[in-house]
Amino acid sequence: MPPDARNTTKSSGVTGQRVLILGAGPTGLGAAYRLKELGHDNFLVVDRHPYIGGLAHSFTDAQGFTWDIGGHVMFSHYKYYDRCFDTLMGDEYTLNNRESWVRMFNTWVPYPFQNNIRYLPKQAAFECIAGLVRAQSGKGRVPSPKAAQNFGEFIDAVFGDGIAEHFMRPYNYKVWAYPPERMNKQWIGERVAVIDVERALKNLVLGTDDFGWGPNNQFKFPLKGGTGEFYRRFGPHLGLDQQGRETQHSKVRLNTRVQTIDLDAKVVHFTDGSREPFDILISTMPLDRLCADVLTSQREAAALREVASDAAGLLHSGGYMVGIGLKSRTPGAGTPDTKSWMYFPEPNCPFYRVTYLSNYSPFMTPDKDNYYSLLCEVSESPVKPTPGDHGKNQDAVIDECITGLENAGLLEPGERANIVSRWCYYADYSYPTPSVERDDILSRVIPWLERRGVYSRGRFGMWKYEVANTDHSLMQGVELVNRLALGEAETTIGMVYSVTEDGRNAATHERPAHAGSGEKRLAAAIAEAKPEAGDIPAGPISKDELGAG
């Protein structure tokens, strides 16, 4: 059964058009899958890697551990995405409780942080709650979220100086690798602004626990093969064989890197010397690189230089995903530790997040009874360098992570002797920073490209972190095809196109109803914004709105 059987007629808007899709990550796969579903066969997907899935790919190392590129948790906002998952995965998945914790003051604080302040030492708990009360009653350093000029001020206005100092600021700096003052506040959305102070106070005074997990807050994870298994299964629908190799019917070309795109002739040149013409180009590679390194035009050379210099103002961070595989039983006194992932705001470890990957499925290690695995994430940027030096010295980052795991209480003294796998993946583009300048840049660059038949979408194609999870990315591809083929509006990217005085298209931004992580527990809290029947609007606060997606 195709995910959307409603529109399986021949498409109109793309009829006779050659569609070239640059990148076989979730966005490119979503676009390709939807084109095929609509009966449009004149397309090709190209990727520089020997595999599909992009940043959502998974790797199995020589020791038999499976690793994702950072902890991937799927909280879908979309019925279409759910149907894709069901179609491709059937019942081959696990259902996991989202159990997340914050490591601070040598103890574990359950998430959500502000509801569990009682776990902190008394002085810190007092500072956090007093700051929260001041902020939420408009008496803080920044009087209101509306008055905040950037994400840093937004944190102060919403959470108060105590939570800001102890958790939000250090944690977010570790995640984003930029000071929160360089980030805008719009990517979070106004609804995050109201915190339930009474609930925070009640838990502190009465000593009640307020955990964010349980049966209403679960996520699916592929039974075998990690996150990437879901994306690998798009391959056979696009003519790859079961091993992910190309066949003569392939709609995907692997190991093929784009070198230049001639905008005048509408031809893509690859590094292997081959070329492909296009009418419509869907690009999912990083937007700044697309404009600066790849696009060429003789006719509009000056305008292109201007666009490239505009796009160069976009900020991003890189990241090291460090997998540590251990030959020992999952720790825990009596019962094994059931944590999903943990946040680390303190400077005694380099990572901002660690995922208990072996808890997601019994098939993530060589043998579930005798091995377990931890996946650490470390960010890097020009203002936050690491000894990894842009991926050149990954061993140094792995060493720091192991020491950090000891400092943070995840590895017991002597336990490093049980490490049997040290895995590392360096992503030079890991987080698209929602910088203060971002939306203005996108307003100019995206419409300029579109007028030339180039549609940039996806995590780094659209650069919108708030809609850059796997479900958003896949749907950016699907919705773009629906727009081109069927004339439907794109709802995920949160852009409103307009015609400016000089006759050029420009765009304004609004926060899409789908933004955020889509965790059901939180989504249930709001009754507003139902964009499409069955789709799930984001809740008022979520893990990735704290910068951890």
Ligand X SMILES: Cc1cc2nc3c(=O)[nH]c(=O)nc-3n(C[C@H](O)[C@H](O)[C@H](O)COP(=O)(O)OP(=O)(O)OC[C@H]3O[C@@H](n4cnc5c(N)ncnc54)[C@H](O)[C@@H]3O)c2cc1C
Question: Which positions touch ligand X (CB under 6 A)?
Answer: 22-28, 46-49, 54-56, 69-74, 257-258, 284-285, 319, 377, 427, 430, 458-461, 468-471, 473, 549
Q: Which two tokens stand for residue 249?
A: 């019917």
> How far apart (Å, rounded) are the C-alpha atoms in residues 454 and 20?
10
Q: Which is nearer to ligand X, 25 or 323 (CB)?
A: 25
> How far apart (Å, rounded) are the C-alpha atoms in residues 266 and 280?
9
Least distance CB 428 / ligand X (angstroms): 10
Beta-strand relationship, 275-277 and 58-60: unpaired
Name the packing angle between helices 151-163 and 122-136 (round to 10°): 130
Could you tell me where the DSSP H helices lie in 385-533?
Answer: 394-407, 438-450, 470-486, 520-523
Q: Which is nearer to ligand X, 72 or 452 (CB)?
A: 72
Residue with the two structure tokens 């890697």: 49
Give the CA distances from residue 303 to residues 296, 310, 445, 506, 508, in Å, rounded to whole numbers and listed in that order: 11, 11, 11, 15, 21
Q: Which is nearer to ligand X, 132 or 285 (CB)?
A: 285
Q: Which is nearer to ligand X, 28 or 222 (CB)?
A: 28
Least distance CB 469 / ligand X (angstroms): 3
> How far apart (Å, rounded) are the C-alpha atoms in residues 61 and 38?
38
Paired residues of 346 in beta bridges: none
Give the CA distances from residue 142 to residues 153, 390, 453, in Å, rounded to whole numbers and listed in that order: 6, 37, 44
Least distance CB 66 / ligand X (angstroms): 16
Q: Which is nearer to ligand X, 443 or 456 (CB)?
A: 456
Judge whether 536 and 518 are in contact, CB under 8 Å: yes
Least distance CB 321 / ligand X (angstroms): 6
Q: Which is nearer to ligand X, 72 or 169 (CB)?
A: 72
How far is Cα of residue 94 from the mean position of the Cα atoms in its chain?
Answer: 21
Q: Which is nearer to ligand X, 125 or 175 (CB)?
A: 175
> How far apart (Å, rounded) are the C-alpha atoms in residues 321 and 358?
15
Least distance CB 116 / ligand X (angstroms): 22
CA torsion sign, 434 to 440 to 444 to 447? positive
Least distance CB 548 / ligand X (angstroms): 8
Least distance CB 472 / ligand X (angstroms): 7
Q: Which is nearer to ligand X, 113 or 230 (CB)?
A: 230
Least distance CB 53 / ligand X (angstroms): 7
HSE of 165, CA atoms in CB hemisphere, 13 A: 13
Least distance CB 322 / ligand X (angstroms): 11
Residues with Cβ < 8 Å from 385, sequence gap 6 or more? none
Residues in the chain: 549
The phi and psi torsions of 219 (rounded to 5 degrees) equal -135, 150
Q: Which is nearer to ligand X, 129 or 495 (CB)?
A: 495
